[in-house]
Chains A and B, each alone.
Chain A
Amino acid sequence: MTLKAAVIVFPGSNCDRDVKVALEASSGTAPAMVWHGDGTLPDCDLIVLPGGFSYGDYLRSGAMASTSPVMRAVVAAAKRGTRLLAICNGFQIATEAGLLPGVLMPNASLKFVCKDVLLRVESNDSPFTGNYTTGDVVRMPIAHRDGNYFAADSELDALEDNNLVAFRYCDGDGALSPDANPNGSARNIAGIFNQGRTVLGMMPHPERLADARLGGEHGKAMFDGLLAALA
């Protein structure tokens, strides 16, 4: 079983290598690392937009990267159904590119927040989350200043009505509360799917808890699940 994956590297990406290591550990195959200036993508089953601070977060987080040459190919592939995992800055880029609804605003605290958070898996009905059980509480790190998910109420209702919320910030019992919400995100949303569940955008970093030696494997389950679903 091999998983053909491509990780897009922008100037200012800083989680591209971690994603590569996590993908390789799960699938045994190294992903293609694709520079943002490339106009084409290799043949692949999975594209990852990694975390970081592409273009120094100029204008708005993800705004400049969403206009990069490679993004035309990424958007086209995502619209054809190629799976797209957009983590942290990748999530910001995906919303700016119109692949996911809403926007990531500055954290309500106005502070950069870097810590482990607990997430409730809201739907395991996707290639990204198939390895979890709906309702599971998992731990993953966050590290961002602009992670405050915002969308119009009608948009949020549509996400919920169509079961497109992937993860929510929660406490140890899986309960949602303002205290468990690290950034002010609407309805404690930490990650969402697109309509076809072929795109997942999330602020937490699964690739940073994908090795027991680094403190946990809750993130590894996502990469193992992607291999099982796509290889």
Chain B
Amino acid sequence: MVYKKKMKARIHITLKTGVLDPQGKAIQTSLGALGFDGVDKVRQGKFIELDIAADGETEARERLTEMCEQLLANTVIENYTIELEA
């Protein structure tokens, strides 16, 4: 397939509110142990970057949403956001 545009996509995957995040908690504890004060609500997530070829931004976004729903995120516990850069 020949697509009109190649774009850079950046996908952030984060745990939903209310889902316990033991890793975030451990990071917060370690930051405290290093002397960083005032740190709260540390949450660890994932960042995925990829190039996508598509005919336009709308189409790219639709396909990226499908990718997130089918594989990149587990929507039982995770939210995702998609950033596109032409």
Q: Which of B20-28, B31-39, B49-57 contacts A (4 or more CB under 8 A)?
A: B20-28
Q: Which of B1-9, B58-66, B69-77 contacts A (4 or more CB under 8 A)?
A: B69-77
Interface size band for A: 20 to 34
Chain A interface mostly helix, strand, loop or mixed? loop
Looking at the complex, which one of B23, B70, B77 makes contact with A150 (CB distance below 8 Å)?
B77
CB distance from B70 to the nearest CB of A (A): 8
Q: Is B19 an interface residue (CB 8 A)?
A: yes
Q: Are B71 and A150 in contact (CB under 8 A)?
A: no
> With a CB–CB cut-off of 8 A, which chain B residues contact A60?
74
Q: Is A151 an interface residue (CB 8 A)?
A: yes
Give the nearest-CB partner of B48 in chain A.
Answer: A59
Q: Is A201 an interface residue (CB 8 A)?
A: no
Q: Are A106 and B76 in contact (CB under 8 A)?
A: no
Q: Are B20 and A105 in contact (CB under 8 A)?
A: yes
Q: Is A67 an interface residue (CB 8 A)?
A: yes
Give the nearest-CB partner of A67 in chain B.
Answer: B71
Q: Are A59 and B71 in contact (CB under 8 A)?
A: yes
CA distance A101 to B46 in the complex (A): 23
Q: Are B77 and A110 in contact (CB under 8 A)?
A: no
CB distance from B40 to the nearest CB of A (A): 20
Q: Is A96 an interface residue (CB 8 A)?
A: yes
CB distance from B74 to the nearest CB of A (A): 6
CA distance A93 to B23 in the complex (A): 22
Which A residues contact B (CB, under 8 angstroms)? 59-60, 63, 67, 95-96, 101-103, 105-110, 148, 150-152, 184
Which B residues contact A (CB, under 8 angstroms)? 19-20, 22-23, 26, 46, 70-72, 74, 76-77
CB-defined A-B contacts under 8 Å, sample of 20 = A59-B46, A63-B71, A95-B76, A101-B76, A102-B76, A103-B77, A105-B19, A105-B22, A105-B77, A106-B23, A108-B20, A108-B22, A109-B22, A110-B22, A110-B23, A148-B22, A150-B20, A151-B76, A184-B20, A184-B22
